[in-house]
Structure 1
Amino acid sequence: MLRASLFRHPGKVLVRAPHASSLSSYSYFRNPPKHGGSVVGKGNKQSLLYQRDHEKDSCGVGILAQLQKKPSRKVVLQANEMLVRMSHRGGCGCDPASGDGAGMLVGMPHMFIQRLVDEGAFGGAHTSVALVPEQYAVGNVFFSKNSEHIDASKKAFDAIAKDLNLTVLGWRPVPTSNHELGQTSLASEPHIEQVLVLPPSNLSNDHFEKELMRLRKVATTANKESEMYVCSLSSQTLVYKGQLTPGQVMPYYADLQAHDFSSHLALVHSRFSTNTFPSWDRAQPYRVLCHNGEINTLRGNKNWMFARGSKAHSAYFGHATSSLLPVCSDDMSDSGIYIYCYSKCGPLC
């Protein structure tokens, strides 16, 4: 978004030092070089570290936020427009209807979730539950389309939650429309369900989030063969994503089209796969961030994380710390591995 807006200035071009990522690295020049090489000033002295050979494209990332934290439908709609306008930042193969991945992270749409509960979407026995913001969690979960695997994975998830003194209020299938998907995306399309989790009455929000992280990790490990993947599980945010093009995200997810689906923030991402193949779980946003990838020290970072795993300890989790290991996963992209480390190493510190 930043680069796109700066390019609108007539007669000017945005140039940067190679591999630079901060705003301070950008400069305006009215007459950029027409041929490869650096910008040269008087006396043939280089005045910028600009090399056309070092130009790189990157994923599209954008964020909108209502600073007073007041939920608004407008935030969601404008975030979707921003995502669609970054379609040129996303990748696709020979099948233009199968994107490299796109998605949206939003603040918890409380009114929308409460309406679903009132309508019995999570189970008819729980229609009288009045949800309190930050005292419940919602997560979107990918499953393989094998019905036996789905049932077994959900039962295992519920049992693990019970062991952690958390209550699974219910599950509901997330309504989707796949008629716009290309053959590649459609072939690997998962079954998607949404889970609603309640904490015990004496648990603080900070500790609730830690227990949700443990629930997600343990349940994912226990259901690895069934290909269960938790997009997000939090009392604060909710992630809708997939192996989609930017223009397919809102049409695919009916939730995002609901008139009462509002949020005080929205983070969007359009993925351009470089070092990993596109897949539904590798799409972004991840649970707490979007990231451009291209982590050149990935192998060394992973090796060090595995090496230090035996010494990992958390004062909060105590002997249960081992249930959070290993921190890294070989199945994810470099950005996905980074978010694994980011989300787990906080509680382990």
Structure 2
Amino acid sequence: MDGHAYDPEYEHDACGVGLVAALDGKPRREIVEMGIEALKNVWHRGAVDADGKTGDGAGIRVEVPQDFFREHVTRTGHNPTDDPICVGQIFLPRTDFAAQEAARTLVETEVLHFGFYIYGWRQPPVDVTVIGQKAKDTRPAIEQIMFRDGIGRSPEELERALYICRRRIERRAREAAIPSFYVCSLSHSSLIYKGMFLAEQVAAYEPDLVVLAGFMKLVGSAFLAAFGGRTVNTHPALSPSFPGMHGPRDALEYGVKVTGCTLFVVDEGVDTGVILAQSTVPVEDDDDVESLHERIKVAERGMLVDTVGRMAREGFRVEGRRGILGG
């Protein structure tokens, strides 16, 4: 566009995924709170309304806390079995009570259709004082349906059945024109909280490893003071070449024959940290930025899974400019 008001190069994929994990594999509250801290550090990626409190959406995905929900199932008068508790995070119409009841009935009908046993519904606590006026005006009622598998499916079969169940619920809700209805998650393993709010500041905690996986290029001195030396990120180039967000474009402009991706320890610079792993990707004659970047992302995912897995099993250390896997 004339005047440089728009350049197709500004079009990018989603920012990435922030992953916080405990190397001992034990679920605990600190990991969730560190996930919220990571979310807070990418607040600038979302839009903010003029009221300064309404956002275009933020959320977090966590493991279903089985002990927590077993306690709540007990409060409903049921005795939970050893089977994992499945949880559906449901947005319902808040002011149309007839539509709200119709939505609950629809959800329960499909859950029973798939052979599940329903324990009951739970209303998670909410604090509406932290959201903006526009979010308040349009917010749904939020409820969680708790249930278990009644026919002994394997974890893979169970998640597949839950996915199909969710899709049937969504289709029937559209057909019934139920307003403000949405299924955030329906799973025995994952639970999603989200809304039109901003990520709030939380206290710093002590995770073993923070994996940023392609976003948060600049994390700030406060973050590094708390988590420096155990935060890693990826870069779509073979560091130290082509730092910044345009690694694939720069590789093509310089005419290199081989590029790739890098996993590094985050420091105060831009893609300047100690290198932990790299994977190469050849540059083809007919590559453009999009095709090259797609192949780099494939290599990056494999490198990230393999290397973080080794770090979790074997540990890692930094000696000068060398990153050494295996403690």
TM-score (norm. length: structure 2): 0.55
Q: Distance in 1 between matches of 2:87 and 2:20?
A: 21
SS in 1 for 2:44: helix
1:129 paired to 2:85: no
Matches within 5 A, 1:165-314: 165-224=115-174, 225-227=177-179, 228-247=181-200
Q: Distance in 2 between matches of 1:186 and 1:208?
A: 36
In the alignment, residue 140 of structure 1 is paired with which amino acid?
Q
Give 1:136 deviation, angstroms: 2.6
Partners of 1:167 and 1:199 within 8 A in 2: yes
Please identify which structure carries the higher strand content.
2
In the alignment, residue 25 of structure 2 is paired with which amino acid?
K
1:154 paired to 2:154: no
Q: Which residue of 1 aligns with 2:255?
A: none
Partners of 1:62 and 1:267 within 8 A in 2: yes
Partners of 2:52 and 2:132 within 8 A in 1: yes
Q: Distance in 2 between matches of 1:56 and 1:153?
A: 38
Q: Distance in 2 between matches of 1:91 and 1:144?
A: 25
Partners of 2:66 and 2:85 within 8 A in 1: no
List structure 1 runs of 4+ shifted beyond 6 angstroms: 264-268
Q: Distance in 1 between matches of 2:107 and 2:55?
A: 30
Could you tell which deviates more after superposition, 223-232 or 53-62?
53-62
Could you tell which deviates more after superposition, 99-108 or 66-75?
66-75
Alignment deviations for residues 283-338 of structure 1 (CA, whole Å, 9 cap, x no partner): xxxxxxxxxxxxxxxxxxxxxxxxxxxxxxxxxxxxxxxxxxxxxxxxxxxxxxxx
Q: Distance in 1 between matches of 2:114 and 2:44?
A: 44
Kindly tell me the number of residue pairs found equivalent between the two proteins.
Answer: 198
Say which of 24, 38, 54 aligns to 1:82. 38
Partners of 1:139 and 1:233 within 8 A in 2: yes
Q: Distance in 2 between matches of 1:174 and 1:267?
A: 29
Q: Which residue of 2 aligns with 1:73?
A: 29
Partners of 2:69 and 2:85 within 8 A in 1: no
SS in 2 for 1:141: strand
RMSD: 3.0
Q: Which residue of 2 aligns with 1:306?
A: none
Alignment deviations for residues 126-162 of structure 1 (CA, whole Å, 9 cap, x no partner): 1x22444xx3311210011111111111112112222
TM-score (norm. length: structure 1): 0.51
Q: Which residue of 2 aligns with 1:110?
A: 66
SS in 2 for 1:125: coil
Partners of 1:60 and 1:86 within 8 A in 2: no
Q: 1:83 to 1:201 in 2, by over 3 A?
A: same
Partners of 1:185 and 1:243 within 8 A in 2: yes
Q: Distance in 2 between matches of 1:211 and 1:69?
A: 26
Q: Which runs of 5+ in 2 are unaligned?
A: 203-208, 216-327
Query: Which has the higher relative contact order, 1 or 2, with Cα contacts under 8 A spaced 6 or more apart?
Result: 1
Give me the identity figure in percent.
28
Partners of 1:107 and 1:266 within 8 A in 2: no
